[in-house]
Amino acid sequence: MLWYPYEQMKTMSPPYEIVDAEGVYLYTKDQKLIDSVSSWWSVIHGYKNPVLDRALVDQVGKFSHVMLGGLSHAPARDLADKLASWLPGDLDCCFFSDSGSVAVEVALKMALQYYLNQGQTGRTDILALEHAYHGDTFKTMAAGDDPDYHFVLQAYGPDPHVHHIPTEISALEEAFQRYHQTLNCLIVEPLLQGAGGMRMYDLSFLQRARELCDQYGVLLIFDEVATGFGRTGHRFVADLVQPDILVLGKALTGGYLGHAATVASRKVFAAFYDDNPDHALMHGPTFMGNALACRLALASIQLFEEGNYLEKIRTIEAVTRREMAGFAHPLVREVRILGGCVCVEVTDPAVLAGYQAFAYERGVFSRPFLNYLYAMVPYIIQEEELVRVLETMKAWFARR
């Protein structure tokens, strides 16, 4: 039996059976659907992309996987080198893992050990944002702030080593005043909080966060698992404000395979680079640096660079703004748009009951959650396809 994610197995409605997928389309036996979710925001080049397919098959012909313990290979090194040169500043030191959650765990462990290696044992605490989502493993759940995902954690009570604040500069300043001696890091999903409800906030918050982290010697972690590779309209938010540790996932492999990276700055790496074996980073996911995933990531980055993707995303944002201009409804609390993300927040989750089937009939796959009806489309989408996704969203309210 297949146990599905985030579902009450007893009452869930049966999922759609996908038999083929190409470009922005998912195919069921009797319907062709635009995937407005990009398979959890990862399939940025669409399905069955010939370049990605070729990279994968080519690597399968050599070897699919060898571990990085005591062994090395070109795909993993090439990807690490590519990311080092492609990412801003001195974000040069790349640690791979198999999923975003694990990569965030690695970032949090790195931040803690960064201080331990320097003899500072009191830096045990994490500053994080309200409505944050950083993954489903235990420490990422603690850094997260959403009982809808993490209610099981309540069994332990609140984590005394994690402090949550709203995305307001005054709250940020207050938290640094209060906790700076015990903080090892501030972790944020920069500009766009995804699973916590597609919440968008201002760059000035991140700029002030950078200043305060510098002032108090606290590491700044950007969890760009969702926002990386253009989703906010910027290549990475790290291009605007540089973190000390950057976490990438989801779109890293173009959505073909699970892989993620925790990229540390030279300063962070230097705290581990030592004659003392205890100062090593003791982490090593079995499938880190998987050769297939690394080849896919290299091919995906090349597509992103050569295909003028930031221009594509600008067009997606412009079309979205045009189509959603003037859209309002008593059941709609807010419409939020940033880059390749649009979210219609409604007044009550019940407003969205039945939307998925409604969209299916109109050739769109959508998966609203709680109060949030959203689209994060593949960047290769054509204008008329995007308009169809947005028309479908608006049409739902026309009948109410």
Ligand X SMILES: *Cc1c(COP(=O)(O)O)cnc(C)c1O
Q: Is 228 in the site for ligand X (CB under 6 A)?
A: no
Instruction: Kindly write out the interface string for residues 106-145 of this chain, putting x where it contacts ligand X by CB under 6 A and - elsewhere.
Output: ---------------------------xxx----------
Catalytic choice (4, 6, 156, 273): 6
Q: How far is the CB of 3 from ligand X (least distance, A)?
A: 16
Q: Is 167 in the site for ligand X (CB under 6 A)?
A: no
Asked if residue 191 lies in contact with residue 70, where contact means CB atoms within 8 angstroms, the answer is no
SS3 392: helix
Exposed/middle/buried for residue 310 (C-beta within 10 Å: 0-12, 13-18, 19+): middle
Three-class secondary structure assignment of 324-336: HCCCCCCCEEEEE
Rounded distance between C-alpha atoms, residue 68 and residue 245, angstroms: 21
Q: How far is the CB of 118 from ligand X (least distance, A)?
A: 27
Helix segments in the chain, DSSP class H:
38-41, 50-60, 74-86, 100-116, 138-143, 147-150, 169-179, 203-216, 266-270, 291-306, 309-324, 355-361, 383-398
Catalytic choice (47, 114, 115, 133): 133
Asked if residue 372 lies in contact with residue 197, where contact means CB atoms within 8 angstroms, the answer is yes
Q: Is 99 in the site for ligand X (CB under 6 A)?
A: yes
CA angle centred on 107, ends 40 and 168, rounded to 5°: 75
When binding is defined by CB under 6 A, the residue of 107, 186, 188, 225 that contacts ligand X is: 225
Q: Is 339 in the site for ligand X (CB under 6 A)?
A: no
Report the residue number, 194 or 285, with the smaller CB distance to ligand X: 194
Q: How far is the CB of 132 from ligand X (least distance, A)?
A: 8
Please give the residues from 232 up to 291 whose contact with ligand X meets the rule CB under 6 A: 249-250
Helix segments in 282-382, DSSP class H:
291-306, 309-324, 355-361
Catalytic choice (98, 125, 145, 223): 223
SS3 157: coil
Rounded distance between C-alpha atoms, residue 144 and residue 14, angstroms: 29
Q: How far is the CB of 376 from ligand X (least distance, A)?
A: 10
Q: How far is the CB of 104 from ligand X (least distance, A)?
A: 5
Q: Is 37 in the site for ligand X (CB under 6 A)?
A: no
What order do you get walking across the sheet with 341-346 strand by strand?
Answer: 332-338, 341-346, 372-375
Which residue is associated with the tokens 């009450």? 8
Report the residue number, 135 or 289, with the smaller CB distance to ligand X: 135
Q: How far is the CB of 196 from ligand X (least distance, A)?
A: 9
When binding is defined by CB under 6 A, the residue of 38, 101, 113, 242 that contacts ligand X is: 101
Residue nearest to ligand X (CB): 100
Q: Is 25 in the site for ligand X (CB under 6 A)?
A: no
SS3 20: strand
Asked if residue 323 lies in contact with residue 393, where contact means CB atoms within 8 angstroms, the answer is no
When binding is defined by CB under 6 A, the residue of 35, 145, 146, 189 that contacts ligand X is: 189
Report the residue number, 91 or 351, with the smaller CB distance to ligand X: 91
Size, binding site for ligand X by CB under 6 A: 15
Report the residue number, 233 or 249, with the smaller CB distance to ligand X: 249
Residue 250 a catalytic site member: yes
When binding is defined by CB under 6 A, the residue of 223, 317, 323, 385 that contacts ligand X is: 223
Catalytic choice (250, 256, 312, 374): 250
Report the residue number, 105 or 125, with the smaller CB distance to ligand X: 105
Residue 223 a catalytic site member: yes
**112: phi then psi, degrees, rounded to nearest 5:** -65, -50
Dihedral of alpha carbons 268, 271, 274, 279, sign: negative
Q: How far is the CB of 101 from ligand X (least distance, A)?
A: 3
**Strand pairing report for 364-365 and 32-35:** parallel
Please give the residues from 296 up to 335 whose contact with ligand X meets the rule CB under 6 A: none
Report the residue number, 23 or 285, with the smaller CB distance to ligand X: 285
Residues of this chain that bind ligand X (CB under 6 A): 99-101, 104, 133-135, 189, 194-195, 223, 225-226, 249-250
State the catalytic residues: 6, 133, 223, 250
